[in-house]
Structure 1
Amino acid sequence: MEGISCNNLTGHVVKMDLSNAYYSISYEEWELWDEVAYRRSLLRGKINPSLLSLKHLNYLDLSWNDFELPQFIGQLRSLRYLNLSAFSSYGGVIPESIGNLSSCLKTLDLSNNYFDGIRIPEFFGQLKSLQFLDMSYSSFEITSNLANLSDLIYLDLGGNFWSIKTSKNLNWFSQLSFLKYLNLQSLDLSRAGDSWLLAANMLPSLLELHLSFCQIEHIPVSLPKINITSLLILDMSQNWIVSSIPSWLFNLTSLRKLDLSGNSFGGSIAWELGSLKNLEELDLSSNGFEGQVPRLIGNSSKLKILNLANNKIVGGLPELLGGCLGCTNDKLESVDLSLNRLNCKFPASLGMLQNLQYLNLESNTVGGTIPESIGNLSSLKTLNLRYNHMNGSVPESLGQLSQLLQLDLSENSWAGSLLESHFINLTRLESFAVSTNQPMSIIFNATWVAPFMLNTIDIRKCSVDPSFLVWLQSQTELSIVTLSSTNILGPISEEWFFKFPQIEYLDLSYNQIPGKLPLLLKCPNLNHIDLSHNQFEGPFPFYSSNVSILNLESNLLSGPIPSNLDQLMPNLRELYLSENKLNGTIPASMCNMTNLAILTLRRNQLSGEFPQAWSLWSNILVVDVGYNNLSGDIPSSMGVPSSLAILKLNNNNFGGELPSLIFENCTRLKSVDLGSNRFTGSLPSKISSELFILRLRSNFFSGHIPHELCLLSMLHVLDLGDNNFSGTIPKCLKEMYSLVESFSNVSYYDSYFEQITLMSKGTELTYNKTIFFVNIIDLSSNNLEGEIPEEVSSLAGLGTLNLSRNHLSGQIPSKIGNLRWLETLDLSHNHLSGPIPQSFSTLTSLSHLNLSYNNLAGRIPSSTQLTTLVDSSIYEANPLLCGVPLATKCSGDSTPAALDGKDDKDEDDNEKLVFYGSIVFGFIIGFWGVCGALLIKKSWRYAYFQFFDKIKDQVALRIALTVARWHRRRSLLV
């Protein structure tokens, strides 16, 4: 019977293995995991007491089932192996009778259970014969009674996410003198100090120590004595350690694997690491290491895996790999140097690493060309050169890498062509990516039979011809296809789309593909479609019901949006239809698409009212319907989805008052653009504290500007221009910390960058990805009065300040020069008076200024920056202003004595006296320097006059010849 084993001599049942078959599935099969099938495969119910009749049973495996754990389990006195891992989905208790197995039980596996954070039972201390104990991922709270298990060799407590509550130290671990394997992964050691290391150092037999995700903050740099010199594996990854590499690590000369990744180790990488001659795996990734890596790291003849990714390492690859390039290492299999600062050329000597299987140099500044020797890497499976500065043509020797599975050449400066010969022997190639900022073509014959069958192809900013598109149809196993910015000019037949039955991801964006899209595209696995920025026309197409992302932006689609879109594509999460010619209304059924997160319909010809059932959108993040002909009031249900982050209704005909629920319930709002509509009423006082952009320009809002706006510490763009706001400018503006310190936010979402138009530098500018670096306050064209508060001068990060066309009075704040990043300042069409502050001279970033139509007086300050603004209209209609660039001179400019006093007059007189005196002195020196010498020296005087006689004769001769030539030409003409 399967799972039951008997003794060959006595016939007694000695082994019972009832573990669930799903437990043994491979990693690749997890993608096909069927939860329903797994549940059906579980063994459930109570275990029959007849099990006790098996007196000689020594092996019992009930793992990955759903039994009720019986109390009589401890009566199986011959049991040496007991596996109850993933035993119950519903928690439970551990029978104390297990303690009766103290003389026989050697292996106990309780991992992957749900024991609700119980303490380790006291009877565990009775299991004196236990050698193997696995309680990982079972929510236990550790207790020191485990110290009684003196024969323990293997102890796994990892993945429990509980902390030490009975003691702040782990000294009792030192009593487990035979322990060879210790896993404390995810155990909170933040309060244990150095006790975990001191205890581990007392275990001379220890071979493996796993301490990842343990919240370790401190690690001793040195230890007086090292007892764990037999240690083979040390994993301290993903902690909070801020330190240099501790010196005691260099004494662990038996180490085969060292993992310090995901910490904050810094400084230079210690050259002493080269003394670890037995090291096979070294992972120092995601730290702060700087400088170059010592050559000695590459001198280990056993090193197989080297991971230094995501640091600040500089230098070249020869220095980095050290002795590896001298072929002292013939076992190196994996090198990951991505996300560093390598500034070198791709070395030809890298081709000597015959066993290299994985090479990742992504996101560096590696330059030069790929050497021909790349073809010598006969074992290479992955080559990633993404985001570097490599150039030139790709060598055909790349086609000799017969084991290559993944090739990524994207985001470099390649030139030339990629031909069939570049891929001739890549029989195992599954994934290929390339992009460049130089002219590059990919040329395949339409009938070429490739030696590989791709799963992924990603080509951007390269040219492909029609024959390539025909050839691509032979790759019938493609699941990801990206041909973006590839200069596809002609139409694509409807049949072409049906040639990829396995396709999941299709991106043909940024081409010039004309024609109609297939109205019905049935690809059962297709979930991401990006056909944006082309010339597709016709009605809205229907696609697979599994599509979750559909991007048809910037095409020529026309007609209405289907009224039953919720039924055609019920799984849509992101829908991009902006910049087309769609008309009609927004169908009410779209509110039934409960998975929808992003909806953009910007710049179409849609009309009518917006659907009312906003409350059904439980996952909505972005709504952009700007630049249409939509009208009506905003439904109050708009404020129900608390997930809403970006709301853009600008440039429509919406009217009425804003529902207060929008700002009260939508606490995650980051951007609101309601500009160019017909909204009325006042602003609500409760607004999301996460707001980044608030644009209400060109409406009919009224009332005072609420002081609550000052509490928006993340606000970078405040545009209330062209409304009917009254009252004064709030003095609390200094509390808008994002404008005081000038920091930029990150993108809201990886897949969406909003577009917004703002008045800046005297014109309308459209921002997209750069909006996160824009800082604007625009209160222009309102009915604001009173003075400009001095607190405005605190907004040091401000780039644009527009207060024009109001009724502001008083003087310009004297400390306005503190706005050191200010590029645009418009205070025109107000009633401001007094002088222009001298601090204007410190506005070194100012490029657009308008102070016209005020009552300003006095001299315009002079500075290097202001002298570049030579347009006099800047100061127009300020009759009391004077100075450059105005034609009106200040009184001091015409009569210096009247304004500048006697000292200035004396200073000017002295300067004139020095000037005239220098002229007279120069004339005297020049005259007598020449004439005096001629009078004194007779030979010079003769030579001088002979020279002038010769010049006189040559001039006379030249004149005579010219006159004669003129007479001759005239006679010929006659």
Structure 2
Amino acid sequence: MLISGNHFVLAVCILCLVVWCCGQADNTEESAATAPMEKAEQAALYSAIQGFVGDWWNGSDLYPDPCGWTPIQGVSCDINGGLWYITTLSIGPVHDNSLVCATNVEFRPQLFQLKHLKSLSLFSCFISPTRHPITIPGDDWEKLAGNLVSLEFRSNPGLVGQIPPAFGYLKRLQSLVLLENGLTGEIPASIGNLTNLNRLVLAGNRFTGEIPDSFGMLNELLILDLSRNSLYGHLPLALGGLTSLLKLDLSNNRLKGRLFAHIAGLKNLTLLDFRHNKFSGGLSHHVLDMVSLEELMLSCNPLGGAIMSLDWQKMQNLVVLDLTNTGLIGEIPESLSGLKRLRYLGLGNNNLTGNLPPKLASLPDLNALYLNGNNLTGVLQFSHVFYGKMGKRFGAWNNPNLCYPVESMTTTTTNGPYGVKPCQKGHFDRAKFHGQVGG
């Protein structure tokens, strides 16, 4: 009887606990449904929204307020002290029922009264850089510094002028994205104060000047994208200390200097995109230390030097290797055939010479190989199966002394590789005599 009595007491306690928890949950849901929005908060929100979408909007279809039963798409709220406050404001055509910006848009000072704001996003909101150019307010950003963790302006060609140095007050920011706007000028050094950033994207603007040395303080960065601007000068030495970086994209700028000596310490990097710059000094052996790289893209830089000098098979994670138009000389190393994950190999428009290593065809995942515009010689030693697999993604044209053996073609493979001439009979026989064609 003692045991069953204990079981009875335990059951009663559990039942009471369940009833209490359900009551608490009901009370929470009820309080959330009935919690009012602070009047000053609602007035500030309405004015800020009207600055972007027009004074016609008055929230008349919202009940009982923007955080109630009919919230605005792109606006999120949270309860603090029994009142609703705005935590997310996203304006622009992201969803079917999103708030879309008007022709005449403006940043109103009431935006900075939303002191609980955690995320602010303006997408495709400022459209015309000639008829209605808008600049980012230079002041009051410190008023949002207590909570703002994400700030994004995307696809706003009418958003012009410079990044305000006051962004440096937003020290809780984890994501700063200024993508494809009309912003100009130099990147302010105060961005280096945002030491909690894990994503910094300033791509697709018209920024000039050098990359600030202060970026070396952004030790939490995972993604740094400054591509498609007009930045110039050398890479700051401090970039080599950003050891958490996973993706570094500086493509389509006017940066110069030697590449790898001071960024080889970025051993977690999976993407390095420096295409279309002015880097020189050859391919340093330091690149082989970046063993996590999956995409290495250096095309359209006057690098020069030999590709043969590196033992490429150390970079076992490489999926994309693009060295097109980099002034490379010498022969293509057989060690490239050890990159078993490689899918894309671009070596076109260089000064490469010698024979093409036949083992490249053994790469299991390779689906694009471009060797066009070099001085390669001899007989292509790939099978018709390889040509069938690659199709137009095999490029070997503009190598005047390169040919393919007609004997390697089958009745189902009527055409040889594009732009490569068939070998003359005597040429092919000499190639076999010298052991250039494998079995």
TM bin, normalised by shorter chain, reads 0.7 to 0.9
The alignment status of 1:732 with 2:297, answered yes or no, reads: no
Separation in 2, partners of 1:547, 1:653 = 33
Tell me, yes or no, if structure 1 residue 698 matches structure 2 residue 268: no
Higher relative contact order (CA 8 A, sep 6+): 2
Secondary structure of the corresponding residue to residue 120 of structure 2: strand
CA–CA separation in structure 2 for the residues paired with 1:822 and 1:779: 16
C-alpha change, 1:545 and 1:477, in structure 2 (3 Å) is closer
> What's the C-alpha RMSD, in Å, of the aligned pairs?
3.9
Report the 3-state secondary structure (helix = DSSP H, G, I; strand = E; otherwise coil) of the residue aligned with 1:550: strand
Matching of residue 660 in structure 1 with residue 237 in structure 2:
yes
Q: Identify the match of residue 530 of structure 1 among 90, 95, 110.
A: 90
- Structure 2 counterpart of 1:830, from 364, 374, 387: 374
Percent identical: 27
Shift of 1:498: 9.4
Q: CA deviation at 1:783?
A: 0.7
**1:788 aligned to which of 327, 332, 343:** 332
Aligned-partner Cα distance in 2 for 1:608–1:555: 21
Q: 1:490 to 1:549 in 2, by over 3 A?
A: closer
Which residue in the other structure is 1:679 paired with?
A: 255
What does residue 151 of structure 2 align with?
Answer: 575
**1:862 and 2:423 equivalent?**
no
Which whole-Å deviations, capped at 9, do the CAs of 1:811-857 have from their partners, x for residues lacking one? 11111112221121111000111111235734775351211001212
CA shift, 1:698, in A, is 0.7
Task: Give the alignment of 1:734-773 within 5 angstroms.
Answer: 734-739=313-318
Residue 491 to residue 798, structure 1, CA distance change in 2 (3 Å): farther
Aligned residues of 1:524 and 1:546 also touching (Cα < 8 A): no
CA apart distance, 1:476: 6.3
Among residues 800, 804, 816, which one is paired with 2:360 in the alignment? 816
Q: 2:244 aligns to what SS in structure 1?
A: coil
CA contact (8 A) 2:163 2:183 kept: yes
Pair 1:843–1:619, CA change in 2 (3 A): farther
1:85-134 per-position Cα deviation (integer Å, ceiling 9, x unaligned): xxxxxxxxxxxxxxxxxxxxxxxxxxxxxxxxxxxxxxxxxxxxxxxxxx
Are 1:586 and 1:606, in contact at CA under 8 Å, matched by a contact in 2?
yes
Q: CA deviation at 1:490?
A: 12
Letter in 1 for 2:142: Q
Deviations 1:703-743 (A, max 9, x none): 1112222222221111100010011125322111213xxxx
Q: Relative to 1, partners in 2 of residues 1:684 and 1:639: Cα closer, same or farther, differing over 3 Å?
A: farther
Instruction: Give distance in 1, aligned partners of 2:394 and 2:269.
Output: 28
Per-residue deviation, residues 908-965 of structure 1 (Å, max 9, x unmatched): xxxxxxxxxxxxxxxxxxxxxxxxxxxxxxxxxxxxxxxxxxxxxxxxxxxxxxxxxx
Q: 1:656·1:678 contact (CA, 8 Å) conserved in 2?
A: yes
1:598 aligns with 2:175: yes
* Match in the other structure for 2:418: 875
The structural deviation recorded for 1:555 is 3.0
The gaps in structure 2 that reach 5 residues or longer are 39-52, 76-82, 95-99, 128-132, 427-439
CA contact (8 A) 1:820 1:842 kept: no
- 1:34-113 → structure 2 map (5 Å cutoff): none
The answer to whether the aligner puts 1:804 opposite 2:381 as a matched pair is: no
Residue aligning to 2:397:
852
* Distance apart, 1:494 and its partner CA: 3.2
Contact kept in structure 2, 1:551 and 1:575, CA below 8 Å: yes
The aligned runs of 1:324-403 (5 Å cut-off) are: none
Structure 2 Cα separation of the partners of residues 601 and 579 of structure 1: 9
Q: 1:548 aligns with which of 118, 131, 137?
A: 118
Flag as ranges the 4+ runs of structure 1 deviating above 4 A.
Answer: 428-431, 453-456, 475-479, 489-492, 496-499, 842-845
**Aligned counterpart, 1:508:** 73
1:154-233 → structure 2 map (5 Å cutoff): none
Aligned-partner residue type, residue 600 of structure 1: V
Mapped to 2, the partners of 1:833 and 1:662 lie a distance apart of 41
Aligned to 1:494: 58
The equivalent of 1:648 in structure 2 is: 225
| Map of 2:79 onto structure 1 | none
AA partner of residue 327 (structure 2):
N
| Contact 1:454–1:477 (Cα < 8 Å) also in 2 | no
CA distance in 2, matches of 1:718, 1:628: 23
Aligned equivalents of 1:606 and 1:498: distance in 2? 39
Equivalences, count: 367
The 1-side partners of 2:186 and 2:71 are apart by 33
With structure 2 as the length reference, what TM-score do the two structures score? Answer: 0.73
Task: Measure, in 1, the Cα distance between the counterparts of 2:74 and 2:380.
Answer: 52
Q: Which amino acid aligns with 1:733?
A: W
Using a 3 Å threshold, how does the CA distance of structure 1 residues 657 and 492 change in structure 2: closer, same or farther?
Answer: same
Query: Aligned pair in 2 of structure 1 residues 530, 501: CA closer, same or farther (>3 Å)?
Result: closer
Q: Is the 8 A contact 2:300 2:325 kept in 1?
A: yes
Q: CA deviation at 1:525?
A: 2.1
Partner residue in 1 for 2:432:
none
Deviation at 1:493? 2.0
CA gap of 1:733–1:533, structure 2 versus 1, over 3 A, is farther
The change in CA–CA distance for 1:585 and 1:863 in structure 2 (over 3 A counts) is farther
Give the Cα–Cα distance (whole angstroms) in 2 for the partners of residues 506 and 804 of structure 1.
55
Structure with larger Rg: 1
* Residue type of the alignment partner of 2:117: V
Aligned with 2:180: secondary structure? coil
State how far apart, in whole Å, the 1-side matches of 2:389 and 2:55 are.
49
Q: Kindly state the Cα deviation for residue 636 of structure 1 after the two structures are TM-superposed.
A: 1.2
Q: Matched residue of 2:184: which SS? A: strand
For the residue of structure 1 that corresponds to 2:142, the secondary structure is helix
1: CA distance between counterparts of 2:208 and 2:292?
31
CA contact (8 A) 1:530 1:551 kept: yes
SS in 2 for 1:567: helix
Which deviations, in whole Å up to 9, do the C-alpha atoms of 1:463-511 show, x marking residues without a partner? xxxxxxxxxxxx76699xxxxxxxxx999823357953757x977259x
- CA 615–838 in structure 1, closer or farther in 2 if over 3 Å, else same: closer
Give the one of 124, 130, 134 matched to 1:559. Answer: 134
Q: Secondary structure at the match of 1:838?
A: coil
Query: 1:651, CA displacement in angstroms?
Result: 1.0
Hey, what's the Cα distance between the residues in 2 that align with 1:828 and 1:429?
A: 71
Q: Look up the match of 2:267.
A: 689
2:430 equivalent in structure 1: none
Distance in 2 separating the partners of 1:492 and 1:566 = 27
Query: Which residue pairs with 2:320 in the alignment?
Result: 776
Residues 552 and 577, structure 1, Cα contact 8 Å, conserved in 2: yes
**In structure 1, the residue corresponding to 2:59 is in which secondary structure?**
helix
Q: Is the 8 Å Cα contact of residues 65 and 71 (structure 2) preserved in structure 1?
A: no
Q: Which residue is equivalent to 2:45?
A: none
* Aligned residue number for residue 434 of structure 2: none
**Could you tell me which amino acid in structure 1 is paired with residue 381 of structure 2?**
P
Secondary structure (helix, strand or coil) at the match of 2:155 reads coil
CA deviation digits over 1:549-594, x for unaligned, max 9?
A: 1122233365111112422421211111111131110001111211
SS at match of 2:123: coil
Give the TM-score normalised by structure 1: 0.34
- Measured in 1, the distance between the counterparts of 2:73 and 2:388 equals 45
Residues 692, 612 of structure 1: CA spacing in aligned structure 2 closer, same or farther, 3 A cutoff? same
Gaps of 5+ in 1: 1-206, 208-229, 233-253, 255-279, 281-330, 332-356, 358-378, 383-402, 406-427, 432-452, 457-474, 480-488, 511-522, 740-774, 883-889, 893-974
